[in-house]
Amino acid sequence: MRPRLRLWAGVVISLLFLSLAVRGLPFEDFLGYLRGANYAWLIPAVGIYGLAVVTRTWRWQTMLRHIQFVPLRKLFPIVCIGYMGNNIYPARAGEFLRSYVLKADTGIRMSASLATVVVERLFDGLTMLLFIFVALPFVRFEGDLLEDPLYRNLVVFATILFLAALGTALFFAGRPHLVRGLYQRVVGILVPGAHRESVLEGLDRFVHGFESLAHGDAGGDGPESVGYLRGGDRGLPLARNALCPRRDQQSGLSDLPSRCQRRSGDPPQQGRSP
């Protein structure tokens, strides 16, 4: 499609859905609200919102640090694009949009960055549930809402669901070798051999994204910081920075070098216990 034709097609589609969105809106009341609004409050509101977005950008930067360091000034517009997508597209599609833009700008694979987005949303959900539990004793409801079994069961179910999801994410972060062993068996059974390696690489990068919970500021060598662990007759991708310590790192990971090697095989590291 030609660029100009694509532009006009986008304008027509936008106007169509905008007309559907404002259909039935009482314009007289709407204009009255606009005339009576105190626009001075926009200044602190925009400032507070901007500070909140910067804080969320810093949080995402921290979660991505073990994959690749992305400067805050480069990551901030990507986060803004994602929130714009959440406001425009359905089903929180902006989360996929910011992962896509991040890949285009930095080379970080979407499968890895989406895992960090999942972790973000888990903590956001748990925070909202915490607000609910803290606020409930101080809020009065009309009728017997708190006595409604449906409401009570919904809160309990949401809490259990988010805690289970967080526990799964922590398990992925803390036991990546075990998780990889599980899905390698499943992929080996269900996925044809021609596509098996690409599926395994995508799953490895997705699990690698969760390792920000366990490794935090572990550092990264960029989007290619994925090494290989020998598994049978083929190399299986692994997150080298998360699982295999660098030669210049003097941490307590003395038991890992014996399990970590490159595709061609690393010589044993000197000066470390086996």
- Predicted TM-score (pTM) above 0.85: no
Tokens of 121: 């949303």
pLDDT number for residue 141: 64
What's the Cα-to-Cα distance from 63 to each of 48, 54, 60, 177, 205, rounded to whole Å? 23, 14, 5, 20, 14
SS (H, E, C) the chain: CCHHHHHHHHHHHHHHHHHHHCCCCCHHHHHHHHHHCCHHHHHHHHHHHHHHHHHHHHHHHHHHCCCCCCCHHHHHHHHHHHHHHHHHCCCCCHHHHHHHHHHHHHCCCHHHHHHHHHHHHHHHHHHHHHHHHHHHHHCCCCCCCCCCHHHHHHHHHHHHHHHHHHHHHHHHHHCHHHHHHHHHHHHHHHCCHHHHHHHHHHHHHHHHHHCHHHHCCCCCCCCCCCEEEEECCEEEEECHHHHCCCCCCCCCCCCCHHHCCCCCCCCCCCCCCC
Task: Give pLDDT < 70 ranges for the chain.
Answer: 1, 140-148, 215-274
- Identify residue 134 by its one-letter amino acid code: V
pLDDT number for residue 107: 92
